């Protein structure tokens, strides 16, 4: 039997890569590189919602999420680090029975602040987080207005969803 010898290029040090200072359009950051992705599995969580107006609900969701694969040794933030995210998403729900709905969500999450495991304070004050969130909303508003202006000549039919969503483990493609 013939043995094949392969020279292995050493993998970059994940911790060094993660902690290296990077640049994205003039914004310096550390952590995962732009364009990389995580995949997570969510345990059986608890979603609570309360109707506050005819079209508005307050929601709370708590669950443990687990990485689909294993994190590279030495990568990521220390255990105990917290993040404050703001999520803006489309949620589509389809009634399946009197007690069941399928649901899918797609959108964005924005980091407002983090709290390092060895520090007792957030990286931004509550007021600074609000200012950042206002800037996010202003940018989203500009994008929506731009989309509306671009769609002005397309008629009044709702825009079709693009891309794909995942429901019950199956990928559903949407018209382009």
Helices (H), the chain: 14-19, 126-150
**88-141 pLDDT, tens digit each:** 999 999 999 999 999 999 999 999 999 999 998 999 999 999 999 999 999 999
How far is 64 from 45, CA to CA, in rounded Å?
7
Answer whether residue 175 shows pLDDT above 50. no
Average of per-residue pLDDT across 150-170: 56
The radius of gyration of the chain from alpha carbons, rounded to an integer in Å, stands at 21
**18-75 pLDDT, tens digit each:** 778 999 999 998 888 899 888 999 999 999 999 999 999 999 999 999 999 888 888 8
Q: Which residue has the higher pLDDT, 11 or 131?
A: 131
**Nearest 10 degrees: CA dihedral of 43, 41, 74, 24?**
-130
How far is 113 from 127, CA to CA, in rounded Å?
11
């Amino acid at each position: 039997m013939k043995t094949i010898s392969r020279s292995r290029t050493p993998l970059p040090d994940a911790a060094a890569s993660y902690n290296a200072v990077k640049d994205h359009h003039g914004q310096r950051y550390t952590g995962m590189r732009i364009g990389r992705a995580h995949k997570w599995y969510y345990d059986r969580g608890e979603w609570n919602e309360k109707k506050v107006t005819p079209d508005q609900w307050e929601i709370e969701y708590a669950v443990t999420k687990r990485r689909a694969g294993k994190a590279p040794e030495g990568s990521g933030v220390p255990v105990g680090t917290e993040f404050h995210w703001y999520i803006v998403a489309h949620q589509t729900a389809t009634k399946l029975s009197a007690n069941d709905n399928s649901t899918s969500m797609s959108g964005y999450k924005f980091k407002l602040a983090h709290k390092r495991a060895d520090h007792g304070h957030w990286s931004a004050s509550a007021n600074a987080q609000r200012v950042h969130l206002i800037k996010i909303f202003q940018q989203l508003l500009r994008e929506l207005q731009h989309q509306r202006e671009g769609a002005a000549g397309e008629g009044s039919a709702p825009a079709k969803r693009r891309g794909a969503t995942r429901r019950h483990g199956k990928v559903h493609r949407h018209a382009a």
